[in-house]
Amino acid sequence: MQRLQVRRTDEGVVHVTLDQPKRKNAIDAVMWDELGETFREVAESDSDRVLVLTGAGDDFCAGADLTPDPASRDKHQLDKMHHYGWVGLALHEIPKPTIAKVNGIAVGAGLNLALGCDLIVAGQSARFSEIFAKRGLAVDLGGSWLLPRLVGMHKAKELALLADIVSAEEAERIGIVNRVVPDAELDAFVDDWALRLATGPPLALQMTKRMITSAFSSSFSEALHWEAMAQSVTGTSKDTQEAMEAFFAKRAPVFKGR
């Protein structure tokens, strides 16, 4: 039985929905595999331009499913954790823009799955927590790397060590969430952002995403070098030519990623 719903639009938006609402979309072994495969497919697809990740029902994701899995009882815990980490890395390395659409709770690995996306939009009822410490566990799925970059070192330690529940408004204030919207407007708001990104210039968006993601591990001179390289690629592309022609013709450009 599949644990994910995957829906693609004509514009190139891939909607990926965690689909275990009765378990608050907790991620079991099957869903881990499906997530990894889906992220890899989106990364390699020529037609997929944007990924939107969300949860079915009332919640985004309650984290990893802690129910013992008989199918993996002979697998060492380290091997399982490396596999989960590979899924997080696969999401992080998708070259196209990614959006987490967060409804309800996003805790533990569920929160860090959202943090692995480029943008996070939350409904007003959303709640967030690095809940690991309350379960006697350490942070995983990249939370120890992602969180300090978003909220700063001391705030990241507070969130991880105390494992408190954070409201959507507080998550926006400290920099976890890009936007908070009324629950009833969440779908429409994310659809608008996704369509804007999907109809944008793929090469420019991908290269910009890559450079910003690498900013904390690059020197200023390296950043300038990669900006020059990126502008050399995008500036001579057919998409840039199309953008200029559309500008002078006073029409919307049609970008094709070349």
- Domain boundaries of the chain, sorted by first residue: 4-198, 202-249
**Mean pLDDT over residues 107-114, rounded?**
97
Cα(106)–Cα(257) distance, integer angstroms: 33
CA 237 – CA 258 distance, rounded (Å) = 6
What letter would DSSP give residue 185? G
In the predicted structure, residue 252 carries a pLDDT above the cut 80: yes
Q: Are strands 98-102 and 13-18 parallel, antiparallel or unpaired?
A: unpaired
Task: Identify the CA nearest to 201 among candidates 161, 163, 247, 158.
Answer: 247
Question: What pLDDT does 5 receive?
Answer: 96
Q: Provide the pLDDT for residue 152.
A: 96
- Is the pLDDT at 48 greater than 90, yes or no? yes
* Cα–Cα distance, 10 to 23 (Å, whole number): 31
Query: Mean pLDDT over residues 57-62, rounded?
Result: 97
Please, which pLDDT band fits residue 243 given cuts at 50, 70 and 90? confident
Burial track 20-33 (b if 16+ CB lie within 10 A, e otherwise): beebbbbbbbbbbe
Q: Which of 138, 77, 80 is nearest to 112 (CA)?
A: 138
- N-terminal to C-terminal alpha carbon distance within the chain: 38
Query: Looking at the predicted structure, is the pLDDT value of residue 65 above 90?
Result: no
pLDDT at residue 242, rounded to an integer: 83
Position 76 scores a pLDDT of 75
Q: Indicate whether 44 pLDDT > 90.
A: yes
Say what the pTM is: 0.93
Mean pLDDT of 59-72: 81
Whether residue 73 is predicted with pLDDT greater than 70 in this model: the reply is no
Q: What percent of the chain has pLDDT over 70?
A: 97
DSSP 52-114: EEEESTT-SB--B--S--GGGTTS-HHHHHHHHHHHHHHHHT-SS-EEEEE-SEEETHHHHHH
Among 3.30.70.580, 3.40.50.800, 3.90.226.10, 1.10.1370.30, name the CATH number for the domain at 4-198.
Answer: 3.90.226.10
The answer to which of 43-57, 79-93, 156-170, 175-189 has the lowest mean pLDDT is 79-93
Q: How confident is the model at residue 258 (pLDDT cuts 50, 70, 90)?
A: confident
Determine the pLDDT at residue 121: 98
pLDDT tens figures, 178-191: 999 999 999 999 99
